[in-house]
Amino acid sequence: MTGAYATLELRFKRLGLVNEAVAMLNWDTAAMMPEGAASARADQLAELKVVAHEMLADPRLPDLLDDAARDRLDDWQRANLAEMRRLWLHATAVPGTLVAAYSKACSECEMAWRKARPANDYASVQPLLQRVLDLTREVAAAKADKLGTSPYEALLDQFEPGGRVAEIDRLFDHLADRLPALIEGALAAQAARAAPMRPAGPFPVEAQRVAARRLMTRLGFEFDHGRLDQSLHPFCGGTPDDVRITTRYDEADFARALMGVLHETGHALYERGLPAAWRHQPVGEARGMSIHESQSLLIEMQVCRSREFLEFAAPVLRDCFGGSGPAWTAENLYRLGTRVARSLVRVDADEVTYPAHVILRYRLERALIASELELADLPDAWAEGMELLLAVAPPDDRHGCLQDIHWYDGAWGYFPTYTLGAMTAAQLYDAAQRAEPAIPGAIARGDFAPLLTWLRANVHGLGSRFSAREILVRATGKPLDAAIFEAHLRVRYLAA
């Protein structure tokens, strides 16, 4: 194809490759980079982000976008053009100098957080976080003006295109009202049963790594297109053709690392399943973080904490850890994996209490962006929120406002996508089982192909051709329905 649209595809392919280089540097920063390279890496990332920004802010781009709209395009090309325009709007709202300053501030703050978190030293990182927050407010204001949204929605749009505070508030307020009863009900049902037994450790890191790799492979992770490494904060990064997963290990509890790996494997399967024909084009990228998080939570929560999965996985775990006896039965491991507790740390939280962690962060970051809350007051506000939502309070900042990397790394507006993703995961898995009733039985045999095939057809392979809402409606027949998520929690935790 020739013309303006063809020119745009070439330009955005180059942009996509630059962004992939940034992704690989980010992975290396978290997993491999020596501490002394932090300053140089911050400069490298800032420069590449300026290059990407300048490509999007090219003054010739608006004319090309307008001219391409008059080209004869198919449905995928029209969707690609719409995504190009959305990215251009975001980029042109923010000057390159602010992009560079923001990138460097986030890199410096993240590296400081890596020391502050284990040291429980919020005071040491607060000035750097203040710099990130100040710049985030600048970016949010500039983008809000360009996009015609509120500042917080402008940040949210980077992760959840088209996301609106009113809809999130409606869903989250509804859920927050019901969470106390759900948590109490789950705890009561749990107390009425004999407590599950914990397999005796220690669990050597190498054995955990072997177990993780075996389960990842059965789920569909391709190790010729990815890696599993170690980092302070578990994540999935890299590119669709080179997916990088990290986790952190605890030799006293193999489940912490393993469930983190399975969560990130869900992200990885989504990335690998994105439409290869549209690689390095905006329409070929993931459709926002609620869909992305739905894929990780569908695997981790809907599938890998199910009885069917444990029927398959229990023998694998016994083999990897040399386990035997009643603690290693599928039913006991299921009871352990669905244990409910009023925990302090989000990444270790169970499925019932997890939404409370997310709702708290969402409310706090909205207040911080709106200057209704200052960073000096964040630890106290965090403790108050935990008391309100979960009836527990962190004993220190390491278990409070230092526990997540997101704000220190500049990911403001990201947190609500976790619980939006959990709701979406429940709805997608419900639809998948109705469409393919053989899925649960296949999982019990360690066969994940029926589920993965359905996800590839209904979610992964669509990339960003449709909005998150449209993807969900096409796959399940309705927009996001919190009642499906609530019903799932009740069946698993109150009735089981």
Catalytic annotation, residues: 264
Q: What is the DSSP string of 173-214?
A: HHHHHHHHHHHHHHHHHHHTSPPPPPPP----HHHHHHHHHH
Nearest to 45 by CA among 94, 110, 92: 110
User: Residue 277 in contact with residue 229, Cβ under 8 Å?
Assistant: no
**Token output for 86:** 């959305």
Q: Which amino acid is at 225?
A: H
Cβ-proximal residues to 66 (8 Å cutoff; 6+ apart), any chain = none
How far, CA to CA in Å, does 223 sit from each of 232, 250, 361? 22, 23, 34
Give the closest residue to 73 by CA, choosing from 15, 2, 13: 2
Q: Where are the alpha helices (DSSP H) in 32-162?
A: 38-56, 61-68, 75-92, 96-119, 122-147, 151-159
Strands across the sheet containing 242-247: 226-230, 242-247, 235-239
Least Cα distance to 475 among 417, 426, 438 occurs for 426
CA angle 413, 360, 302 (to 5 degrees): 85
68: helix, strand or coil: helix
